[in-house]
Amino acid sequence: GDSVTQMEGPVTLSEEAFLTINCTYTATGYPSLFWYVQYPGEGLQLLLKATKADDKGSNKGFEATYRKETTSFHLEKGSVQVSDSAVYFCAPNTNAGKSTFGDGTTLTVKP
Amino acid sequence: DAGVIQSPRHEVTEMGQEVTLRCKPISGHDYLFWYRQTMMRGLELLIYFNNNVPIDDSGMPEDRFSAKMPNASFSTLKIQPSEPRDSAVYFCASSLGRGRGGYTFGSGTRLTVV
């Protein structure tokens, strides 16, 4: 079956530091790839997506590139802010319509 | 659009009682998902529907759990009887066309069974 491996957290960074959260996956077919973010007390929100190889998804300064050869979709941001503190989930979506979610990586950004 | 609407936001109930969680998906979305989130097990898919028909309920933990989608704008998740280990945050999500555009999640129902 489909699976996702995310970088284990928690991750603690200082404001303006560079962020990378690794994500690799196994999936049947040609999945679309997503990152979701969950702020405390809220539901998950779609952060960015990519639908084919070499596509780069981006939103709010975050980026991730669809790497088909390495089955990876690593999340990056050049300069994190305190407001980026949240839990981040990687999720491939296969043709069956069902997304598989990673375990989530908790990011804390300190001023 | 108001997004995916879940009710109630919080529910506290006694062990053995029946609990019903409600979800209104985004209008026009044809897939609906129920998830449970706990610290120990993370985000678990319980069941999902396509065009109101249950497609995969293999994640439903046991017969005490049931879900229905009587029409395109409403779904329920029922637990009867409830147990303390059912305490979790339950999320509903909806998507259009196999979710290639991503899911929209509701704000969740925090269930506490005492």
Per-residue pLDDT tens digits for B76-91: 999 999 999 999 999 9
Question: CB count, 10 Å around CB of A71?
Answer: 16
CA distance B114 to B96: 37
**Residue holding tokens 């147990």?**
B83
Is residue B29 helix, strand or coil? coil
Cα separation values, B15 from A8, B10, B80, B85, B108, Å: 35, 16, 10, 10, 21
Whether residue A88 lies within 8 A of chain B, CB to CB, comes out as no
**Residue holding tokens 């109930």?**
B13
> pLDDT tens track of chain A, all 111 residues?
788 999 888 999 999 999 999 999 998 778 899 999 999 989 999 999 999 999 999 999 999 999 999 999 999 999 999 999 999 999 998 766 778 898 999 999 999
Interface contact B102-A93, CB threshold 8 A: yes
Contact A41, A25 (CB under 8 A): no
A43, A45, A97 member nearest B99 (Cβ): A97
Residue of A nearest to B91 (CA): A43
Whether residue B100 lies within 8 A of chain A, CB to CB, comes out as yes
Cα Rg for chain A, rounded, in angstroms? 13
Is the pLDDT at B26 greater than 70? The verdict is yes
A100: left (phi over 0), alpha (psi -120 to 50) or beta: beta
Instruction: List A residues 23-82 in contact with B (Cβ-Cβ < 8 A).
Output: 32, 34, 36, 42-46, 49, 51
